[in-house]
Structures are given as C-alpha cells and as structure tokens.
C-alpha cells in the first residue's frame, strides 16, 4: 500500500503526514509506504488544486483539509478491503 501526502511542506501538510503515520502504525500495517510529494508538477498531475491531500494507491481520497486520525484509519481500512 502506497500513501502519498501531497503538499508544499506547510504546517497542515506536516500534520497530515503525522496523522497518517499514526493511523498506519495503530492499524499495524507494516508494508505501507509513506511518501511526501512536494513537487508542484506531481501534485498537479493528480488534479489536486488544494493541499494538503492524501493519495492511497494512486487515488486522491482527501484534498484541502487535514482529516482526523479516525478518518484516515477508515480510508486506509477501506482501501485495504478493496485490495482484498
């Protein structure tokens, strides 16, 4: 599972990274790859107009806000079930 945090490195981008790391750790997902994407061209390639954004396995699931840890956990769990 690949989780990408899209953003310029702003405070909210850092918060999203921390929340995502914590959610993944609590879910016990050891093979998750967390990647910080700060390159504007890469962010635009996803069609994201507002950061921070969370991308799970190539799909933008949150954009323009910092979701709660519970929201991130739910999104990750749903993505894992779909991989199933």
Quote the CA–CA distance of 19 and 67 in Å, as a whole number. Answer: 8
In tens, the pLDDT along 39-84 reads 999 999 999 999 999 999 999 999 999 999 999 999 999 999 998 7
* pTM of the entire predicted model: 0.94
Quote the CA–CA distance of 51 and 23 in Å, as a whole number. Answer: 19
In tens, the pLDDT along 16-51 reads 999 999 999 999 999 999 999 999 999 999 999 999
Select from 3.40.50.720, 2.60.120.260, 3.40.50.1100, 3.40.30.10 the CATH code of 2-62: 3.40.30.10
So where are the chain's domains?
Answer: 2-62
> What is the model's pLDDT at position 33?
96
Residue 6 reports pLDDT greater than 90: yes
Q: What is the DSSP string of 25-62?
A: HHHT-TT-EEEEE--HHHHHHTT--SS-EEEETTEEEE
């Amino acid at each position: 599972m690949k989780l990408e945090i899209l953003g310029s490195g702003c405070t909210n981008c850092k918060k999203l990274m921390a929340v995502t790391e914590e959610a993944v750790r609590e879910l016990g997902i050891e093979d998750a790859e967390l990647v910080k994407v700060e390159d504007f061209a890469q962010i635009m390639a996803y069609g994201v107009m507002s950061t921070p954004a969370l991308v799970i396995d190539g799909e933008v699931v949150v954009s323009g806000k910092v979701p709660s840890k519970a929201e991130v956990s739910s999104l990750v769990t749903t993505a894992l079930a779909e991989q199933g």
